[in-house]
Structure 1
Amino acid sequence: MHSSPIQDLLAAGLTGPVFRPGDDGYARECAPYNLAVAHRPAVVVGAATAADVQAAVRFAAARSLPVAVMSTGHQAIVPADGAVLVTTHRMSEVTVDAHARVARVEAGVRWQQVVDAAAPYGLAPLNGSSPLVGVVGHTLGGGLSPTMGRMHGWAADHVTAIDVVTADGELRRADATVETDLFWALRGGKSNFGVVTAMEFRLFPAQTLWAGGLFFAGEHAAEVLHAYSRFTATVPDALTSSVALLRLPPLPGVPDFLADRFAVHIRISHLGTAEEGAELVAPLRAAAPVLLDTLGDMPYDSFAQIHADPVDPAPFLERTAMLRSLAPDTVEEILAVAGPAADCPVQFVELRHLGGALGHPADNAVGNRDALFALWVVAVGMPADLGRQNAFADAFLGSMRPWATGGRYLNFMATHDTADDDVRTAYAEKDYRRLRSIKRQYDPTNLFRLNHNIRPEEEPVTDDKLQNLLDQAAITDALHRYTAGLDHGDADLLSSSLTEGAVVDLTPATAKIGLEFPVLTPRDMVVGALIPAVGPLDTSHTISNVRTTVNGDAATLKCYAMAQHFLPGEGPKPDRTRQALMMNRYDADLVRDGEQWRISRLTIDSAWFSGDPSVLVPAE
C-alpha cells in the first residue's frame, strides 16, 4: 500500500503538528492577526524546530507547492491557498547575552518577549509599536522602531546573524562572514529567500523612556499638524515621534473620549531627561487644548502605552507612501483630504517621523533611507467592504505625490501593493536588481512567492546560449530560403539554401499521390528540376513546428511544411481552378558555411494530401 504525501511528511519525524483542511485546529492554526486575508493552505506545518521547517520546505519543493510562513500574521499579503503554510509561533525561545548586548530569538518570538528578557540587564531592542508583532517579520521588512529608531536606525541594520532554511531545504547560517549575499538580502527582503528559524541582533542601553502621547480634539488638527511640522524640523535624533489622525468607532478597547469622534494623537519617545523632553514638546502642548497628556517617565517594558495599538485580531487595509518633507503646503493638503472638514472614511492617517540614523547607509537591502516621513493609511473592515476606503486611499496618496519620494515602506504595504512595480518601490533600483540576482541563486523556482514577491532574475544568456540562438535562427533561415526560392521561382535563392552536393529526396511524398519523382543530387540538378516544376505555379509554403539540434558545425532539422499549389496565375481564383494542398514532413541535415547554414540532405514525406495531384506535373 502506498503512503499518502501527508503520511510521508509525518514520517519525517516532525516535532510539531501537521494540519489538513477539515482537521480540528486547522482553522485556528491558519488564522492571522489581520483577518483581511483568509488562508486555505493544502497543509499547515506547526513548526516547533528548525528541522520541522526543513521537512516542510522539502515536502513543498518536491511537489512544486509554494511555501508561506506566518508568525503572527499582522501584515495581510497573499492568501496561502493550496500552499504549504509554516507557522512558527511554537518557536518562542529568547536568550540574552548581556555582556555582548545581543539577543537571540527563534522565529515565533514577539517583541514584548524580547523587551521583557532584556529589561533586567538595562537593555532594549529596536522593537515595533505593538508588543504582539513578530520580531522576525518586522525586522526582515526593515523594522521601524517608534522608541529609538531615529537614534539607532532600522532594526535590520543591527542584525548580526540569521539561521534560515532555503528552498533546497538546507539550514544555513548567514552573517557578515558566511553566506554574505544571503545575509544582505534577508535584511530587507522579508520572506523571499527562505524561512528564518532564528535571528541574532544587538541590544541598546535603555531602562526608561520619557514617552507617551498628547491627544487633541480633531477641530484643532490644523494648529497641531503645523506645530508638529515645525517640531520635527528641529528635534534631536534622540526623539522619535509620530502623529495620527484618528476616527475610531466605539469598539471594545477604544477609550470613551476617542470613540466615535475625530481626534489627533501625537506619540513621543525621548531618550533623555524629563526636563529635556518637556522643553522639546512645549510647542506641541501649547498648540491647542490638550484632551489627554500621558507624557512622562516610563519603564522601557511599558513601551506599548505609547501607541496603544489594538490587541484583538481584526480585518484592516493598509496603504502607504514615503514623503521627503512635511512642509506647510504638505500639511494643508493632508488637512484638505483628511482634516476636520473632509469626508474621510478611514480610521487612521498616520505620519511617522524618520530621518536621523534611519537615513544612514547600511550594508543591507532596506530602502527608502532618503525619506523623512512614512505615511500610513489604515481602514478597518473586510476588503470586499472597503471599496470606498480604498478609492479614498488612492486619491489621497495621489494628492501626496508632490512631496512623495516614490518609495514605500515594506512593512506598511499589504494586499493592494503586491505587483512587481509596487514591490520595487520598497528598494533602491540597484538593490532591487541585486535582490533578484540573489533570489535566482537561492530560490530559482520562486518557491517563496506568497509575499511581496521578488522574482528571480532571468538566467543570463551565456556566449554558448547566444551562439545556439543565432545558429537556430540561421538554420531556420536556410529552410525559408529553400521554400521562398520555390514560391518565387528564384533559382539563386533556392541555390543559396543548398550545399554543392545536396541531396533532395521527395519520393516518400510523391509516391503517396501516385507521382514518380527521382532523388535529386547535386545542387545544380535540384535547382534545375524544382524551379521549372514548381516555380511557375502559384505556390505558397507555410513552415511550422521547427525543431533543430546543433552539434558544432552540423545540425538536424525537423518541421512541417504546408504547401498550397495552384495552376499558374490561378491562385487568386481558387474557385475556378484545380489545386493541390500538401502537409509535408521535412527531415534535413545542414552544415555551417561561414555565417550561413546550408541544407546537405532533405527528405520530404507527406502527412496528408488534398486536391488534384496533376497540378504538380510539369508542363511539357
Structure 2
Amino acid sequence: MSPFSTISAIGSLALAVSTLAAPPSKPSPICKCLSSGPSCFPPTRTLDAFNKTIEGRLAKISPPAIVCYQGPEFDAAACEALRANATNPYFWGEHIGATMYPKTLGGEFGVNVCPASLNSSLPDSACGQGKVSSFGVDARTVEHVRKTVKFAAAHNLRLTVKSTGHDQAGRSSAKGSFLLWLHHLRGIEFVDTFIPESCTARAGLPAVTVSAGEQWGTLYEQAEARGLAVVGGAVQTVGVIGGYLQGGGHSPLSRTYGMASDQVLEFKVVTADGQLRTANSCTNQDIFFALRGGGVGYGVVTSATIRTYPSPKTALALYTIEANAGNITKNAALLRQKFVDSQPEWDKIGLSGYIGFGSTTLWLALFQPNGSNATIAAALKPLFDFADPARFAVAGVSFGSPTFYSAYRMFKCYLNKGLCTDTVGENGALGSRLIPTKLFQNQKGRDKVGAALSSILDMGTNFLVVHFIAGGQVSNFPPDATGLNPAWRQALWHVVTANFWADDANAAQILQKRRATTAQTKVLAKLSSHAYINEADEAEADWQNAFYGTHYKYLLRIKNKYDPAGLFVCHQCVGSERWSADGNCRV
C-alpha cells in the first residue's frame, strides 16, 4: 500500500399475495434466517415469485474466485482476469459478490477461504462461501430497494447492503446473508438552487442530488465540468453514499468547508418498514440527524442532496524527506517532532492532507485550497530548512492548480500512475484516534504526540498516517447539529495505524497482526478516547463511546424508532450490542 493511501440471475407487482407468503417454518424470533438454514430460508418458489416483482434482479452469488476452481463455474479466462486485476478497484466494484478487501469475505479473523492464487486443478469444494451472500438483488430502481427491504423483513433475513465494497470493517458482508447491491442505482443532478422539502421559507443553495450507486470519481468529474467542487473522499472509487457519507466522511476539503456529512441538505431513505422517506432539517429531523455522521444501519439511503461550491484554486505539495546520515534514528525522531511542532502554523494557513511515516521517512501530500505554489512553498520552508542536506534527503514537487480537482488528479496520478486511484486487495487491521487540537497548543502536548508516533513506529507498524483533515471549518459546525461524534469538532488529526497480512495467511498469523494493531491503538488512546468509525480497530472495546461519543444514546433511540426489529444490524453499528458477534442472533 502506498504511504499516501487513505486507507475496496436468479415481473409484475400484481402477483397474488400467496406467492410471497411466509416461509414454511416460522422464523425464530431470536435469530435471523440464513441461507445455510433451509428450514427457515425462503424456498425456491418464494424466491422466484419475489424475483418477478423486481424485474429479474435476484441473483445467486458465488465467491468471485470460484472461476479458478474445477467445477461448473470454472472459467480459465475469467480466473486469469481476476488474478491480473487483483488490486484494481474498478474491476472488483463490478462484481456483486466481491468487496475491495478479501478479509471481509473470509472465515475466522479474515482468512481467505476462496483465494484466486491457488492451483486451478483444485475442486470447487475447496472454495468456501465465507461471508459472500448466497443471494442478492442488483437494484436498479428505488422500487427494487423498497421491495427487497420488505421481503427481507417479512422473511427475517440477515440483510446486508453494499455499493462498492470499500467497507474496511466488513459491514456490507455476512455469512448466509441476503444482499442488497446498490452499485447500479445511478443518477447525478446538479441544481443552482435547492430548497429541501417542506423548508419553503429557507433560501436555496447550490447542490447536487446523487443516487446510491455513484462514486466520488464520477461526481468529481461532473462537478469539475461545471466549475464546482464537492466535499468527498480521497479515494475516488468509494461510493458517495453509504459508510463514507453516513460515517462523517473526511476530505482534503474538510478543513475548508466541513465534513462530507455536514454538506447534506436532504436524504431519501428506505426504512425497515419499506417506506421511502424524505429526511432533512424540516422533515424527519431525527433520522436526518442520525444519517449525517451517525453511521449506517438506520435504513437504506437511495439518494442524497449535498452542497456544491465554486472550485477553489488549490496548491499541492508531494514530498519525501528521509533521514540518511548521522544518527539516523535520532534525526528521524527530530524530524517527526518538527513536523508536529509545525501544526499550529499549518492549521492557521489552511493546509490539509496526508502525512505518512516510516522509521526514517516522512511522506507529505498536502493541499492548500485558495493557495498557490508560492504560498505552499512558504508554508513548508521551515520544515525544509530543518531538513538540511547534511542529515536528510528531500525530494518532491509542488505546484498551483486552477481548481481543486486538477490538484486532486495530480495527487492520485502521481502516486498511482495508470489507474490514478488507490489500489485495493491488501488485507490489514486498522486502528485510529482523533487527536484533539488542544494537544498542539503547547509544547508539552506536542511532545506527547511526537512520542506516540515514534512509539508506534518502534512497535513495528506497517502503516502510520496522519490525516490532517480536521480543525478549520470542521470545528466551526455546532457539535450537536448532526449525528457525527462531537470529538471531530475538537480534533485536528485523524491518525491511522495498520498491519497487513498475506493473502494465504492463517488464522494465527492474522490474529497476531490484529493484536499488534490493537496494541498500537492503545498508544494513541492515551491521547484521545475517540476514533473514526470507518477506519478503526474492529476490536475496539468501548466502541459506543469511541465512535459515537455523547450522541450514542440519542442515536440508539432513533435506531429503535425506525428499525425496531434490527433488520439493518451490522458490526459496531448503533444497537449492535444487542446482537451476537456475527450479527445473527439477539442476546
Q: TM-score, normalised by structure 2?
A: 0.69
Q: Distance in 2 between matches of 1:313 and 1:449?
A: 25
Query: Match for residue 103 of structure 2?
Result: 36
**Residues 279, 441 of structure 1: alpha-carbon distance in 2 compared, 3 angstrom cutoff:** same
1:300 paired with 2:409, answer: no
The one-letter amino acid of 1:67's match is: L
**Equivalence map 1:426-575=2 (5 Å):** 426-429=547-550, 431-455=551-575
The one-letter amino acid of 1:354's match is: A
Q: How many angstroms does 1:378 deviate by?
A: 2.1
**Equivalence map 1:342-361=2 (5 Å):** 342-361=458-477
1:245 paired with 2:344, answer: no
Q: Distance in 2 between matches of 1:246 and 1:15?
A: 51
The one-letter amino acid of 1:449's match is: V
**Residues 217, 456 of structure 1: alpha-carbon distance in 2 compared, 3 angstrom cutoff:** closer
| TM-superposition CA deviations, 1:270-327 (whole Å, max 9, x none) | 0123322221121222232454323212343241543646323332221111222354
- Given candidates 491, 494, 514, the residue that maps to 1:371 is 491
Query: Match for residue 103 of structure 1?
Result: 208
2:464 touches 2:495 (CA, 8 Å); kept in 1?
A: no
Q: How many angstroms does 1:373 deviate by?
A: 1.6
Q: How many angstroms does 1:104 deviate by?
A: 1.1
1:440 touches 1:456 (CA, 8 Å); kept in 2?
A: no
**Local SS of the residue matching 2:140:** coil
1:96 touches 1:117 (CA, 8 Å); kept in 2?
A: no
1:169 paired with 2:169, answer: no
Query: Match for residue 275 of structure 1?
Result: 374
Q: How many angstroms does 1:18 deviate by?
A: 2.5
The one-letter amino acid of 2:214's match is: V
Q: Distance in 2 between matches of 1:356 and 1:143?
A: 15
Q: How many angstroms does 1:172 deviate by?
A: 1.1
**Local SS of the residue matching 1:150:** helix
Q: Distance in 2 between matches of 1:376 and 1:390?
A: 14
Query: What is the aligned-residue identity percentage?
Result: 23
Query: Match for residue 85 of structure 1?
Result: 179
- Given candidates 201, 209, 231, the residue that maps to 2:342 is 231
1:34 touches 1:315 (CA, 8 Å); kept in 2?
A: yes
1:415 paired with 2:538, answer: yes
1:14 touches 1:51 (CA, 8 Å); kept in 2?
A: no
Query: Match for residue 75 of structure 1?
Result: 167
Query: Match for residue 525 of structure 2?
Result: 401
Q: How many angstroms does 1:30 deviate by?
A: 1.8
**Local SS of the residue matching 2:519:** helix
**Equivalence map 1:6-21=2 (5 Å):** 6-14=47-55, 16-21=57-62
**Residues 233, 207 of structure 1: alpha-carbon distance in 2 compared, 3 angstrom cutoff:** closer
| TM-superposition CA deviations, 1:235-268 (whole Å, max 9, x none) | 3263213311148xxxxxxxxxxxxxx6321221
**Local SS of the residue matching 2:221:** helix
Q: How many angstroms does 1:35 deviate by?
A: 2.0
| TM-superposition CA deviations, 1:504-540 (whole Å, max 9, x none) | xxxxxxxxxxxxxxxxxxxxxxxxxxxxxxxxxxxxx
Q: How many angstroms does 1:157 deviate by?
A: 0.7
**Residues 300, 119 of structure 1: alpha-carbon distance in 2 compared, 3 angstrom cutoff:** same
Q: Highest relative contact order (Cα 8 Å, sep 6+), 1 or 2?
A: 2
- Given candidates 54, 59, 62, the residue that maps to 2:151 is 59
Q: How many angstroms does 1:330 deviate by?
A: 2.4
**Local SS of the residue matching 1:403:** coil
**Residues 80, 46 of structure 1: alpha-carbon distance in 2 compared, 3 angstrom cutoff:** same
1:161 touches 1:175 (CA, 8 Å); kept in 2?
A: yes
The one-letter amino acid of 1:364's match is: T
1:221 paired with 2:332, answer: yes
The one-letter amino acid of 2:547's match is: A
1:47 touches 1:91 (CA, 8 Å); kept in 2?
A: yes
**Equivalence map 1:584-595=2 (5 Å):** none
1:153 touches 1:357 (CA, 8 Å); kept in 2?
A: yes
Query: Match for residue 138 of structure 2?
Result: 46
Q: Distance in 1 between matches of 2:300 and 2:534?
A: 17
Q: Distance in 2 between matches of 1:379 and 1:305?
A: 28
Q: How many angstroms does 1:4 deviate by?
A: 1.9
**Local SS of the residue matching 1:36:** helix
**Residues 348, 168 of structure 1: alpha-carbon distance in 2 compared, 3 angstrom cutoff:** same
**Local SS of the residue matching 1:400:** helix
1:105 touches 1:198 (CA, 8 Å); kept in 2?
A: yes
Query: Match for residue 390 of structure 1?
Result: 514
Q: Which 10-residue stretch deviates more, 130-139 or 227-236?
A: 227-236
Q: Distance in 2 between matches of 1:443 and 1:201?
A: 25
Q: Distance in 2 between matches of 1:45 and 1:67?
A: 11
Q: How many angstroms does 1:15 deviate by?
A: 6.3
**Local SS of the residue matching 1:447:** coil
Query: Match for residue 363 of structure 2?
Result: 265
**Equivalence map 1:186-205=2 (5 Å):** 186-205=291-310
Query: Match for residue 543 of structure 1?
Result: none
Q: Distance in 2 between matches of 1:353 and 1:106?
A: 26
| TM-superposition CA deviations, 1:7-56 (whole Å, max 9, x none) | 12202133645234589999931211122210322321111111111111
Q: Distance in 2 between matches of 1:361 and 1:264?
A: 32
Q: How many angstroms does 1:442 deviate by?
A: 0.2
2:246 touches 2:294 (CA, 8 Å); kept in 1?
A: yes
**Equivalence map 1:600-619=2 (5 Å):** none
Query: Match for residue 247 of structure 2?
Result: 141
**Local SS of the residue matching 1:413:** coil
- Corresponding residue pairs, total: 437
Q: Distance in 1 between matches of 2:536 and 2:363?
A: 22
| TM-superposition CA deviations, 1:47-94 (whole Å, max 9, x none) | 111111111111110111122111122223244212221111112322
Q: For the pair shown, which has the larger CA radius of gyration, 1 or 2?
A: 1
Q: How much is the aligned-residue C-alpha RMSD, in angstroms?
A: 2.8
1:44 touches 1:84 (CA, 8 Å); kept in 2?
A: yes
Q: How many angstroms does 1:154 deviate by?
A: 0.8
The one-letter amino acid of 2:516's match is: F
**Residues 240, 456 of structure 1: alpha-carbon distance in 2 compared, 3 angstrom cutoff:** same
The one-letter amino acid of 1:91's match is: L
The one-letter amino acid of 1:226's match is: Q
2:270 touches 2:300 (CA, 8 Å); kept in 1?
A: yes
**Residues 18, 349 of structure 1: alpha-carbon distance in 2 compared, 3 angstrom cutoff:** same
**Residues 380, 139 of structure 1: alpha-carbon distance in 2 compared, 3 angstrom cutoff:** same
**Residues 15, 206 of structure 1: alpha-carbon distance in 2 compared, 3 angstrom cutoff:** farther
1:46 touches 1:90 (CA, 8 Å); kept in 2?
A: yes
**Residues 44, 194 of structure 1: alpha-carbon distance in 2 compared, 3 angstrom cutoff:** same
Query: Match for residue 46 of structure 2?
Result: 5
Structure 2: runs of 5+ lacking an equivalent: 1-17, 20-43, 68-72, 74-91, 106-130, 194-204, 416-420, 579-587
The one-letter amino acid of 2:207's match is: V
Q: TM-score, normalised by structure 1?
A: 0.65
**Residues 426, 109 of structure 1: alpha-carbon distance in 2 compared, 3 angstrom cutoff:** same
Query: Match for residue 608 of structure 1?
Result: none
